[in-house]
Amino acid sequence: MKPILVAHFSKKLGDFSLNVNLELGKEVLVLFGPSGSGKTSILRCISGLLTPDQGLIELNGQVLFSSDGKRVKANVPVHLRQIGFVFQDYALFPHMTVAQNILYGCKDRKKGKELLSILMEKMRLKGLEGHYPHQLSGGQKQRVAIARALMAEPKLLLLDEPFSALDRPVRRKLQSDLLRLQEELAIPVVLVTHDLEDAFAMGHKLAVVNDGKIEQIGEKEEVFRHPRTRAVARFIGARNILEGKVVGKDEGAVHIEWMGLVLEAPPQEVTVGSDVVFCIRPEDVMIVRPDRPVREGIKENLLTGVIVREIHRGNHYSLFFKATSVETGRDYDFEISIPVHAYWRLDLKVGKEVMVSLKKSALHIIPEP
Amino acid sequence: MDLSPLFLSLKVAFVATILTAITGLGFAILMARARFPGKSLVEALLTLPLALPPSSVGYYLLVIMGRNGPLGWLGWLFTWKAAVLASWIVALPLMFRTAKAALESVDISLEMVARTLGKPPWRAFVDVTLPLAGRGILAGVILSFARALGEFGATLMVAGNIPGKTRTIPLAIYTATQINRMDIASFWVIVTAALAYAFILAVNKLQEK
């Protein structure tokens, strides 16, 4: 499939520089990264509100920006790019009603009236036509801002931290509405967030942004399961990042020595004898049930130890596990995430001795630490 | 009693305010948006009449509009038109600074959004920033009118004090006290005080949210 959005560009911004390489079809790309990593600036460059130093930006085959760093060959002005942009603070026009706001970017008055009622319906704004922005709740403002962007029939929609100011139920509802809308409109969407949960919920594709650079971009699952750098592993919440040495490999597994213990990881391109960094997500550290035989899939990489600390996080527990079978000198060795019901079933508590398995299929060697 | 100072004052202030509003807003837009070398110097120059004694503004105008000055050919000296020019220069900083502050108080991201919705930069400015800065700009216009109405020093220098021709209310007050006609002076003082008070009330009303 030919990509709809192609963006390869760089820009110096003060003391750091943006470096972007991405291509996108009719799907949702989440730009995920810490605050100040340059996510918003990437959106601004694509929309034309910022001008890159050099590079190429194309939408549906039309060149929006092109420069070799010396001469700008093309730079379509913002208002001709047909790129919708929803700002983080919504930026609704305070002197216009909801209907006037939404109709502002409408090109065809007659068609606009029709589209207005469809958008009001779909964005759950019915009855608010005559309200002014200051009379709306945060969630309603965000919906108006999105409807306003869609009224202009954009070929690409950019959303800057669309959920950051909304509470959880409002956020969930808006997320599902947005996903449905994106499917209907079949346009690419680029969404910026620093929230891991939002990134999980929204993206088809995920790009991890750090220090102005796209560290990794790919299918969401792929990035979550197989982070390419230590920074990516940290941002996506891999939590347990360890250092070891490859001591052997065969077609079935890579053997990593860690603290005198040999762990098995799925086969991967590594050199025997090299030092490696590997990681495992907290939900992939399995607590073995003492009353049952160890089942297939978690019989490798077994460790015994104690739970030294726990944090109840609502629907799951974070447990901090200290291995007794090896001596690492740290106050805890692994973070484990376990659903509340499993926590109760296993009768876990701080101080309890347990056996855990670092699930082999989830043990991932970071290729470029 | 001769009421000509009232009508003359209103005429001068009205024309001067139109001039001030247009030029002041123009400079405000330029200074709020454009970037060019020496901008801060231009900005200081536009504010200068606020800090200068009006008589020295009058002096410069006298030189410019004098027989040998660059605008001498207009022959405006000692006519009501000279009073308009004097009021314009003196009121300009008020208009410029108020309008610029009003424009700058409007969130720039609103204009950016308007552009992403397909409007060219000038349309975005006219549709969004201008109406949102409207109250502040109007406050600037009223302040300018009040300032023009009260202009004395520069007007005396370039327009003189010709009864029925260039004698505005402030000049009438001055003249009346000189010839010890306190009844006339106090009449005009009450008129100006009432006008000024009404203007200040209006400006305050505009500037409250």
- Residues A274, A361 contacting (CB under 8 angstroms): no
Contact assignment for A149 to B127 by CB distance below 8 Å: no
Taking only the tens of pLDDT, chain A with its 369 residues reads 689 999 999 999 988 899 999 999 999 999 999 888 999 999 999 999 999 999 999 999 999 999 998 999 999 999 999 999 999 999 999 999 999 999 999 988 888 999 999 999 999 999 999 999 999 999 999 999 999 999 999 999 999 999 988 888 889 999 999 999 999 999 999 999 998 889 988 889 999 999 999 999 999 999 999 999 999 999 999 999 999 999 999 888 999 999 888 999 999 888 999 999 999 999 999 998 877 777 777 778 898 999 999 999 989 999 999 988 778 778 899 999 999 999 999 999 999 999 999 999 999 999 987
Q: Map residue B120 onto helix, strand or coil.
A: coil
3-state secondary structure of B122: helix
Domain A239-366 grouped into CATH 3.40.50.10490 = no
CB A53 within 8 A of CB A69: yes
Are A257 and A268 within 8 A, CB to CB? no
pLDDT > 70 in chain B, percent: 100
Q: Beta A275-280 vs A240-249: how paired, if at all? A: antiparallel
Nearest to B118 among A91, A93, A107 (CB): A107
A78/B109 Cβ within 8 A: no
For residue A32, the model assigns a pLDDT of 95
Condensed to tens digits (0 to 9), the pLDDT of residues B9-64 reads 999 999 999 999 999 999 999 999 989 999 999 999 999 999 999 999 999 999 99
Q: What residues in chain B have per-residue pLDDT under 50?
A: none
What CA–CA distance (Å, rounded) separates A308 from A329?
14
Query: How many distinct structural domains can be found in chain B?
Result: 1
Q: Which CATH architecture has domain A5-234?
A: 3-Layer(aba) Sandwich (3.40)
Residues of A with CB under 8 A from a CB of B: 47, 49, 77-85, 87, 89, 91, 93-95, 104-105, 107, 148-149, 151-152
Contact B104, B192 (CB under 8 A): no
Looking at residue B209, its pLDDT comes to 60
Inter-chain CB proximity A84 and B116 less than 8 Å: yes
The counts of H helices and E strands in chain B are 11, 0
**What pLDDT shows up at residue A362?**
92
Q: Do A49 and B107 touch (CB under 8 A)?
A: no
* CA closest to B131 among chain A residues: A95
Amino acid A197: pLDDT: 87
Scanning chain A, the segments in alpha helix (DSSP H) are: 39-47, 98-103, 109-122, 138-151, 168-185, 196-202, 220-225, 230-235, 340-345
Instruction: Transcribe B36-79 into DSSP letters.
Output: -TTHHHHHHHHHHHHHS-HHHHHHHHHHHHSTTSTTGGG--TTS
Q: Where are the domains of chain A?
A: 5-234, 239-366
Closest to B132 measured CA to CA, from A92, A148, A144 = A92
Q: Which residue of chain B comes nearest to A104, CA vs CA?
A: B117
For tokens 């068609």, the residue is A111
- ipTM score assigned to the predicted complex: 0.85
Question: What pLDDT score does A368 carry?
Answer: 85
Cα B137 from Cα A124, distance rounded (Å): 37
pTM over 0.95? The answer is no
Domain limits at B72? 4-208
Residue B48 belongs to a domain with what CATH number? 1.10.3720.10
CA distance A70 to chain B (A): 22
For chain B, what percent of residues have pLDDT higher than 90? 87
